[in-house]
């Protein structure tokens, strides 16, 4: 799982732009006219080495920090006294609750699944918690967890839990 998390952090748009900026600077340095008459010993290898060093020094600490923060938030969220909980609502509302759980503001809650009335949310995953179906499928989802020896102890409803998604029009 750590590899998948690391790959997600590396593909962050800021990382790609940073790597592109370093590449542009490396090309600029290689194409600038030299004022000295000393021979150039390294050439293209120097440019490639410069790029790798800059990307690793600029992106490495950020990647390490984000992995550290992610492991700490997961540690807080997966405490042994946490009660397995199903979250009901659309993705935007549930994500607010998931962030509160990860930050430690909401304690003793272990989200095991999401039930969303929105068709767009079906099959998605929010912060590592899968959308298991619609609110109408509550009994089937609880039975599925029971067959995996996970007893769902709580059901948390967000404000959008009982809203009809069929009345909303897409933007």
Q: Are residues 99 and 35 in the same domain?
A: no
Is residue 114 predicted with pLDDT exceeding 90?
yes
Q: What is the pLDDT of residues 59-93, one digit of tens each?
A: 888 888 888 887 776 666 566 678 889 999 988 89
Check residues 65 and 5 and name the one with the higher pLDDT.
Answer: 65
Q: What is the pLDDT of residues 89-113, one digit of tens each?
A: 988 899 998 888 887 788 888 889 9
Domain that holds residue 145: 80-167
Evaluate the CA torsion angle 145, 109, 89, 112 in order and state its sign.
Answer: negative
Q: What is the pLDDT of residues 10-60, one digit of tens each?
A: 445 555 555 666 666 666 655 555 555 555 556 677 777 888 888 888 888
Q: Work out the mean pLDDT of the chain and round it to a whole number.
A: 76
Contact 55, 19 (CB under 8 A): yes
Q: Is the pTM of this model over 0.95?
A: no
Q: Are residues 48 and 122 in the same domain?
A: no
Q: Are residues 68 and 86 in the same domain?
A: no
Q: Are residues 114 and 159 in the same domain?
A: yes
- Quick one: which of 117, 139, 116, 114 has its CA closest to 128? 114
Number of domains the chain contains? 2
Q: Are residues 95 and 157 in the same domain?
A: yes
Q: Are residues 84 and 163 in the same domain?
A: yes
């Amino acid at each position: 799982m750590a590899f998948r998390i690391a790959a997600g952090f590396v593909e962050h748009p800021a990382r790609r732009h940073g790597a592109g900026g370093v590449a542009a600077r490396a090309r600029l340095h290689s194409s600038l006219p030299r004022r000295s008459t000393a021979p150039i010993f390294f050439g293209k290898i120097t440019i490639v080495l410069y790029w790798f060093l800059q990307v690793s020094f600029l992106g490495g600490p950020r990647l390490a920090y984000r992995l550290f923060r992610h492991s700490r938030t997961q540690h807080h969220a997966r405490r042994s006294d946490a009660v397995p909980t199903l979250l009901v609502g659309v993705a935007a509302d549930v994500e607010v609750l998931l962030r509160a759980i990860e930050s430690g503001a909401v304690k003793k809650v272990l989200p095991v699944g999401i039930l969303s009335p929105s068709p767009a949310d079906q099959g998605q995953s929010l912060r590592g918690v899968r959308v298991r179906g619609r609110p109408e499928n509550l009994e089937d989802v609880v039975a599925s967890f029971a067959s995996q020896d996970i007893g769902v102890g709580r059901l948390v409803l967000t404000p959008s839990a009982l809203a009809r998604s069929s009345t909303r029009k897409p933007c």
